[in-house]
Amino acid sequence: MALRITPLFAFGSRRALRMIERNLLVYKHGWLMLFSGFFEPFFYLLSIGFGLGRLVGDVVGPGGQTIPYALFVAPALLAASSMNGAITESTFNFFFKLNYDKTFASILTTPMSPGDISLGELGWALIRGALYTIGFLVVMVLFGLARSPLILLTLPGALLIGFAFAAVGMAATSFMKTWQDFDLIQLVILPMFLFSGTFFPLDSLPEGLRIVVQLTPLYQGVDLLRGLTVGVIGPETVVHVAYLLVMGLVGLSIVSRRLDKLLLK
């Protein structure tokens, strides 16, 4: 087989849209699965945000504002939902298509390249994330958790989080050999979900642990969406955006090279 040289970032390739179209056709009769990821953060919001929130009361949010606990938790759950949706699509599903179903190997018999596959799968993960985000934003508005017009920016913010985690998730999956390797992903994802300022302010953590948490990608997403939800932006907003953007671009670079090696060898 002749080795095809593909651009590292084939941004704007129309062929990548064919991957998204394929996934839409696959889920045509299983559309309910596309919305299943919405319910987990919704139930967390009801049980912890509003249920436990009655006992917690108000907490200090971005900019030193005093906000209800439900408003503190909701944007964090939105960020975690974006992370979980991206990770699920870019790890388990990606691994199955790559190693068992041989979907990608079959696709490469067409004019599509590994770069097209990477961008297409990433785009599909972002579409699923957008569905979850829009649904959750509607819930937040209905429950009176929209305090600022900047809440509209949480949609692109959530997509940025999904982009970062999906790209890194695909890159990590390209190195995995068995299903047992996914335990390592959960070993990273679960602590981030619990300790990235999702359910309690960072001030309640020891100083050393607080610094570690602030370096994690989910904290960057949580703090970004929480600030936008309450209408507080500043230099840290730019830092969060840059962090997640670089993370996604690095992940996309790695997976593009890895697919080139795995599928065209």
- Among candidate residues 189, 168, 181, the one with its CA nearest the CA of residue 258: 168
Whole-angstrom distance, CA of residue 167 vs CA of residue 148: 30
pTM, two decimals, is 0.85
Residue 7 lies in a domain: no
Please tell me the distance from the alpha carbon of residue 124 to that of residue 225, in angstroms, as a whole number: 22
Q: Does residue 254 lie within any of the structural domains? A: yes
> What is residue 61's DSSP assignment?
-
Tens digits of residue pLDDT in 136-155: 888 888 888 888 888 889 99
Q: Which two tokens stand for residue 13?
A: 């390739």
Looking at the domain assignment, is residue 3 inside a domain? no
Q: Examine residue 211 and state whether it is found in any structural domain, yes or no.
A: yes
Domain count, the chain: 1
Q: What is the pLDDT of residues 141-191, one digit of tens each?
A: 888 888 888 888 999 999 999 999 999 998 998 888 888 888 888 888 988
The conformation of residue 50, written as its DSSP 8-state character, comes to I
Supply 263's token pair. 């599928």
pLDDT of residue 223: 94
Q: Which helix (H) or strand (E) holds 177?
A: none
pLDDT the model gives residue 35:
63
Mean residue pLDDT of the chain comes to 83
Whether residue 34 has pLDDT greater than 70: no
- Residue 11 lies inside a defined structural domain of this protein: no
Question: CA triplet 87, 90, 96: central angle to 5 degrees?
Answer: 125
Evaluate whether residue 65 is within a structural domain: yes
Which residue is associated with the tokens 């949609």? Answer: 155
Higher-scoring residue by pLDDT: 28, 234: 234
pLDDT tens-digit map of 36-91 = 666 777 788 888 888 888 888 888 888 788 889 999 999 999 998 888 888 887 88
Domain of 36 in residue numbering reads as 21-263
Residue 75 placed within a domain? yes
Residue with tokens 């996934």, as numbered in its chain: 23
Domain membership flag for residue 9: no
